[in-house]
Chain A
Amino acid sequence: MAEHEPPVDEPELAELRQLGQRLQPRDVTWEEPPARLWDRIAAATREPEPAAGETEAPPSVPAPTPITSAPRRRRAWLAGALAAAAALIVAVFVTVIRQDDQNVVAEVALDQLEGGGSGRAELIEGRDGQLLLRVDTEGLEPGDGYLELWMIDPSVTRLVSLGHLRAGGVYDVPAGVTPADFPIVDISAEPVDGDPTHSGRSLLRGQLPL
């Protein structure tokens, strides 16, 4: 290796050279992970799939959620959550709907992110055109706090609270909220701390196919 004087007038070159000399990244020989590991990771992070026998091919996964915007600052996320608090206030209480009054627009089984619960969500259009979200859950543990229902945009920078979770709850989608813009249904565990923002502890989550 050549050992010239550090080029003080070329600080970028100097920093790169120092990095290369210190780390010697060209000495790296990569180790491919065994293919079987993916199967185990997929199995451990998803609800069990029907037995498919031994296969080399990875289980199919849905197409990646298109991310159209660069990740925003955490503050923007929190600001979105604060805005969601306003939505909470206008969230309308339960509307009981009858089977023959509704049209299921989209439904999704919610993935378990934390804890042992399960659930599903349905977006329903009532006869009057009002959009409703029906959420059924099982086995969720609110801990010392309560559970809250959210609709979140695909980049998880904006979110709308639909209020605290109720057994067999049906929730009005607030007027002005387009579900396709907030297709992710999320149930979080919230501490009773008076903070209206999302706690960051999501128990269940799923994306409505809209």
Chain B
Amino acid sequence: MPTRQEVDERGDAALAAAWFAGSEAALRQAWVRYGTLVHTFCVRSLADRELAADCTQETFISAWRSRQRFDPERGSLGAWLLGIARYRVLDAYRAQTRTPTPEAAADENAVDESDTEGLLVERLLVADALEALAERPRQVVELAFYSGLSQSEIAATLALPLGTVKSDMRRALHRLRHVLEGGDTDG
């Protein structure tokens, strides 16, 4: 099974198109590409592993059944899937409310707060997109994210021409903006 990292940006676009086309293989590809993304969202949002597994399963099934509502022009398939997963999480919350458990109530991840959910969606989408980048642009973006270095300092740190650092950043930013579109995110 290919890893998520092996699916590059062009692969994501092809997958989005195949998904929209309703190719049955696209469901399998989407599972390989985004199963971990969706499942991580469900696990972090719901206190219970079984509920999270149901959430992941139902997200893919309902996403497939309404796949024609996905518009590759309007955003990424990952963001769209997480938008559906948010509804599945809300359903699970409602079911939990009927039978509240102390564990669920005590788990801060189980708090139904759309800001928390939206932030989690964005965090996962960006982390996922980062892992899908090739090694060099990924290093550039990680330094941009966390180091506080300027572009020329990043270039010096990675022993890269400044122009490479700049174009990597431009491309990565374009990619991240696209990735964050199309879901029910708050960004």
* B101 / chain A contacts, CB cutoff of 8 Å: none
Q: Mark A1-25, 1 if CB is under 8 A from B, else 0.
A: 1111001001011011101111111
Which segment, of B15-23, B86-94, B106-114, faces chain A?
B15-23
Tell me if B27 is interfacial: C-beta within 8 Å of chain A: yes
Q: What 10 A-B pairs are tightest by C-beta distance, nearest first?
A: A2-B148, A20-B145, A25-B127, A33-B39, A71-B72, A16-B144, A64-B25, A28-B127, A156-B21, A65-B23
Q: How far is the CB of A12 from chain B (nearest CB, A)?
A: 4
Chain B: number of interface residues, binned into ranges = 35 or more
* A73 / chain B contacts, CB cutoff of 8 Å: 73
Tell me if A62 is interfacial: C-beta within 8 Å of chain B: yes
* A31 / chain B contacts, CB cutoff of 8 Å: 36, 39-40, 43-44, 52
Tell me if B176 is interfacial: C-beta within 8 Å of chain A: yes
Measured between alpha carbons, how far is A42 from B26 in the docked complex, in Å?
12
Given contacts A33-B35, A156-B21, contact A41 B176 (CB under 8 A): no
Tell me if B139 is interfacial: C-beta within 8 Å of chain A: no
Q: How far is the CB of B142 from chain A (nearest CB, A)?
A: 8
CB <8 Å contact, B123 and A24 = yes
* A34 / chain B contacts, CB cutoff of 8 Å: 53
Tell me if A118 is interfacial: C-beta within 8 Å of chain B: no
Measured between alpha carbons, how far is A58 from B39 in the docked complex, in Å?
18
Q: How many residues of A contact B (CB 8 A)?
A: 60
Residue of B nearest to A44 (CB): B61
Tell me if A138 is interfacial: C-beta within 8 Å of chain B: no
Name B residues whose Cβ lies closer than 8 Å to a Cβ of A.
13-14, 16-18, 20-29, 31, 35-36, 38-40, 43-44, 52-53, 56-57, 60-61, 64-65, 68, 71-73, 119, 122-124, 126-127, 130, 141-142, 144-151, 154, 166, 169-170, 172-173, 176
* A69 / chain B contacts, CB cutoff of 8 Å: 17
Tell me if A202 is interfacial: C-beta within 8 Å of chain B: yes
CB <8 Å contact, A62 and B25 = yes
